Structure 1
Amino acid sequence: MCGRYALTLPHEAMVQVFAAAPSNDLPEGPRFNVCPTTQVPVVTAAEGERRLRPMRWGFLPHWYKSPTDGPLLINARAETVAEKPAFRTAIRERRCLIPATGFYEWTKADGQRLPWYFHPREGEALAFAGLWQDWGPEDLPTCAIVTCTAGSTMAEIHHREPVTLDPADWALWLGEAGHGAATRMRAAPEGRLTRYRVSTKVNSNRVEGPDLIDPLIDEDDR
């Protein structure tokens, strides 16, 4: 799964990396502890133009009466996304890219949740495979991150991982370059991601700051 991530790219950098026209109401950054239900920058494509726009991280199916009417859908499983009523139209018609610079996952030891930070080995930006939908009378844009069975780098920590798309596949995922997006819902290639332990301060969704992604050196500093 993916339940927390970091996004340290300035708006100007995201505009250049994703070749997208920015909305004027993007959430402020950098952000080292992006949590569900918050507004996040998302790249969509329509009529030959990419847009960088804010969305609520937490997909809301059209039948929800309120944002808390059902389960919080922050992730969509690649194996079943085309079949689930909540996602099956969106995966065909409303795919998006969700920019990130890294993400967190947890192991457990002695009853404590121990966070790990995953990021690209070469330091480039990540693009999570996402899907989106407008919800409610005000057409609130909402999104979810597609996840898949974990690859070798991730599997020792967790059995799922977010689908991270290579730049060469962005146009395909956004629907700009024909068919075959489903074949890109797979784990990151061997060696693309690296990981290290970070402080348990990130366990709180109220904490922010660049020290959250610092490698943990002193195991007692939790």
Structure 2
Amino acid sequence: MCGRFTLTVETEDVIKAFDIEEVQYEIKPRYNIAPTQTIAGVLNDDGKRVLQGFHWGLLPFWAKSKKIAYSTFNARAESIQSKPAFRSAFPDKRMVILADGFYEWAHKGKEKQPCRFRVKSSDVFAFAGLYDTWKSPEGEHITSCTIITTTPNALTEKVHDRMPVILGEDELKIWLDPGVSDKDLLQGLLQPYDAEDMYTYPVSNSVGNVRNQGADLIEEIPLNSK
């Protein structure tokens, strides 16, 4: 799964990295992003890549309340075509979530050690995602999203049995292309990212509390320390 991640770059860096043509959301450095918060994502709107904010936790158009978002912030790649919450969004409502790292917790007996995972070749990268727009009983329109997860690669499997789908440049172009509707082609993109292009390091247990924010959360600490 992917339940916490970081995005510590500036809006200008994202515009350059992803060829953003329209900005509807201002990015500020964040070190402990959690489900149900507003996060930065990119979608293709009339041929333009648009940066906008999304509620993290998919709210299908048919949802009766926002509570469903607590169980839809991740979508397993294997079930996006069968699970009701996601099949209504796939393949037409595709987007990507921006990040520069994500957290997972390694279990050692009763102890849990948080680790941050990053990509070597890029300061900022994209998780594959789906989005939908939901209208509340009060008439509020909320655009929400989910991060798609897949089986782990050789690096992440040491910590967890799932990892977020990270899209390389070629895969990203296909995923954001509204002209592509082949479900088999799109499903084939949802693979574990190359472990050789990733690295990880231990971070403070403070990241476990969503109220904790700040650059110190992403600092490497000695293994087995607090």
1:86 equivalent in structure 2: 85
**Alpha-carbon spacing, 1:69–1:169, altered in 2? closer, same or farther (3 Å):** closer
C-alpha spacing 1:112/1:134, structure 2 compared with 1 (3 Å) = same
CA contact (8 A) 2:36 2:69 kept: no
5 Å-filtered alignment, 1:1-222, equals 1-26=1-26, 28-69=27-68, 71-136=70-135, 137-176=139-178, 178=180, 179=182, 180-217=185-222, 219-220=224-225, 222=226
Between the two proteins, the alignment pairs up a number of residues equal to 220
Cα distance in 1 for partners of 2:141, 2:72 equals 17
Aligned counterparts of 2:69 and 2:126: Cα–Cα separation in 1: 27
For residues 69 and 159 of structure 1, what CA distance do their matches in structure 2 show? Answer: 24
* Higher percent of residues as helix: 2
- Range that drifts further, 62-71 or 79-88: 62-71
Cα distance between partner residues in 2 of 1:130 and 1:140 = 16
Structure 2 Cα separation of the partners of residues 47 and 186 of structure 1: 27
- Is the 1:116–1:196 Cα contact (8 Å) retained in structure 2? yes
How far apart are the structure 1 equivalents of 2:211 and 2:100? 20
- Give distance in 2, aligned partners of 1:123 and 1:70: 30
8 A Cα contact 1:22 1:51, kept in partner:
yes
For residue 85 of structure 1, report the CA deviation from its aligned partner.
1.1
AA matched with 1:120: V
Q: Work out whether residues 150 and 159 of structure 1, in 8 Å CA contact, stay in contact via their aligned partners in 2.
A: yes
Query: Which amino acid is 2:16 matched to?
Result: Q
Deviations 1:27-74 (A, max 9, x none): x51001011111111100021111000010010122322211575211
CA drift at 1:89: 2.4
Amino acid at match of 1:219: N
In angstroms, what is the RMSD of aligned CA positions?
1.7
Identity of aligned residues (%): 33
**Residues 198 and 48 of structure 1: CA distance in aligned 2, closer, same or farther (over 3 Å):** same
Seen in structure 2, the aligned counterparts of structure 1 residues 219 and 88 have a Cα distance that, compared at 3 Å, is same
- TM-score, normalised via structure 1 length: 0.93
Q: Structure 1: which 5+ residue stretches go unaligned?
A: none
Contact 2:59–2:68 at 8 Å: present in 1 too? no
Is the CA contact 2:25–2:53 (under 8 Å) kept in the aligned structure 1? yes
For residues 155 and 172 of structure 2, what CA distance do their matches in structure 1 show? 22
The structural deviation recorded for 1:114 is 1.4
Would you say the 8 A contact 1:94–1:132 is kept in 2?
yes
**Residues 175-198 of structure 1, C-alpha deviations (whole Å, 9 max, x = no match):** 246342211100011301111111
* Contact persistence 1:58–1:143 (CA under 8 A): yes
CA distance in structure 2 between the aligned counterparts of 1:127 and 1:68, rounded to whole angstroms: 26
